[in-house]
Structure 1
Amino acid sequence: MDDNELDKLFGEVSEAASKPAKETSGDSEKESSKKEDPDSASSAEELRENGFIVKNYEDDAGSDEDEVENDDSEDDKTSDDEETEDESDLESEDIEESEEESEESEEAEDGEESEDEEEESEASEKPAPKKPAKKKAEKRLLLESFTLSKRSITIIALLLVIIGFAALIYFLPAFRVRNVHVEGNISLTDQQILRELKLEYNDHLMGGVSGNILDVIRLDYGKTEERIKRENPYIEDIRVSVKLPSTVDVTVRERRKVCYIRTPDGYAALDKDGIVLELSSFDANKRVRPVISGLTVKGAELGKPVKLGNTNDYKKAIIVLGAILAADNASVGDTYSMFENTSELRILPSGYMFLTVYSPAGKLVQVKLNSLEKISDNMAWLLYAFNSEALDKTKTKGFLDMTGDDPTLREY
């Protein structure tokens, strides 16, 4: 056999060997390839006879294909099993991951709570840093010292103003008593009122300012006023106030003594309201006019209303005495005062009243009274009779009856 045949044979063998690699589709394709290549089989036999070893590439290819298919099927099975296993593993892993995530979230929450608690405990246990605390304390001290200094400056300024004002008030002559002006007094003299005030020349004007807030605002001597009214029953009201410069103004409203009443110990002087102005013992040398007798006196205390058994009788007597005073005040140009010459007004249980009066000539005249309707007219007529000396010229010893329409002289 020459080289050409060998090349041909090797080429055919190589082609036959290359065909099984390409034909992997199935057994039908293998059989068709064998039928189509009879020359290749004969050539193979010739090679074997000549001592060459010829392998059947088709069988090997078929076996290889079977093995590939088996391997593929096994691979498919294993891949399917692996996929199922992977899916189950994935599912189990997902479950485990979800459980782990829930556990991790719970642990994270617990951890956060524990961390918060630990942080709070650490914050409470750990002392604050020294340097920032010192800085804050220093700032606070500076602020407090600033506020305190500002407050103290304000207080010091106010104190200085008060001290300066007080010094002016104390040392200026305008705040010293140089003059006292008194008005409204009738029976009391200016000197008596000054003694009641207890003021001396060059006393400080503000020394007596006292009382309630209104008194202090008005610069009134409130406590002095109350003391004077309490100690002197003749003073019904008094107001003492400062008037710059160097003047004290005093305004007085007096109680006027209108009568006396007999008491177990002597006499009590009363005003029109029955306030006891004086208490005195019997004195033959002292003239006591007018005296209201016939009253039941239960008690008399200085500066307070007298205690009587029947206050209506006292009111009737005061009306009569008031009519006498009105007549005196209405008289013009006459020096005679019927009130001052009235000695006694006696009130009888029957309701009648006897008035005892001294005439201008000193004659004692008694007047009988009853009704108070015309008391003012009757007292005016009586004063006219005294001033005209009509009653002094009569020689009848008796009394003047004024209980009827016309006054009548009656003998005893």
Structure 2
Amino acid sequence: ETEDLDYFYPTAVLETGYDILFFWVARMIMLGIENTGQVPFRTVFLHGLIRDATGAKMSKTRGNTLDPLELIEQFGTDALRFALTTGTAPGNDLRFGENRLEAARNFANKVWNASRFVISGLDGESGLDGWHDLPSVEHREDRWIVSRLDRVTVEVNESLRNFELGDAQQKLYDFFWNDYCDWYIEMAKLRLRSGGGPSPLPTLAHVLERTLRLLHPFMPFITEEIWQNLRSKLPQEGDDSESIMVAEYPTADSPRADAQAEEEIGLVMQAIRAVRNTRAQLRIPAGQRLEAQIEANGMQGPIEEEAEVIRALSRVEPLHIVAGGSSSNDLPKGVTLVVNPLIVHLPLEGVVDLSAEQERLRSELEDCLKNLDRVEKLVSNPNFREKAKPEVVETEEARLQDLKERQQHLNEILEQLAG
């Protein structure tokens, strides 16, 4: 009976591989009960095996092992940790190759660069009081990102309670890369340049600081470095922890949900994506401005207020916003995009050679149909489904779905150009 034994025994969770359940875990339980009368843990969390990129078990005789020290030197410690623990379910084996490490390193770079932008913007700025709790959030874009942050915080905490570590990391990855970096920071840049309305800096700092704390268990080194630099630029608010390691993990006990802001900004994002996709499909250079007309159909207020975001992020100029049903019937030939309830018209005469573009799209559609026919026959073949590995069947089914969507998209564009 020692103080250490009393403190450390029994524990709560054992994390181990499924391959040693009987050889190790069962014996730990039997010995624990025999020597102390108590089980040593109540929960066993099983991780899968790390396999090579082809799914084979790693071994020195096969020569397919990876040296973690070399990987750390090449990709970084946080990237290695993130690559090993994301994108996998508990107990499932992990196919591990350089593509996963490169993706994790790219994410670490994204976190670093986005944080550098925010921290550099805080230098010498006033009006940052209240950044920690954001007692008053007025701007639609700020309300949207705060609502999304609290939603993700709830989801991440729920995933961690259920030991779904990969799921928690994927949610954080998607939120930080897509919502925060690709959308909110780009929107904030426009507001910072214009100088109008409430500054986005307190919200930028608030969301970044909380996201760093959410990410810290998975990427401890980069988050600590950024967190220390960020806190040094901000007024002293919240807890005064010396390290992110001992700072409180974020929760959202009273989520600041804003369904209206999420709906309105979501609509703006869909409209921008639709225009971007059309530009890519028709190979219109990124630097070339397009004229656009949006039928707002009851959303005129939010669309007009976010018009500068639409102009800048979809590269349209001029942008006409009209009430539903008021557009003229003699618009030049072009493409009509339906982003319910919005209708976006893109006149294309003089922008692209419509005849040549139709010919190119017909050729693409022909290739698409050939591939679709081939993959459909493969997927519907009982011998293939019986003999192929499950992941191969899944890949081909996903390819079939992509080809069907591609066919529908090409048909829609050809119909519009013909009209």
Using structure 2 for the length normalisation, give the TM-score: 0.20
* Higher alpha-carbon Rg: 1
The structure that is helix-richer by fraction is 2
Using structure 1 for the length normalisation, give the TM-score: 0.20
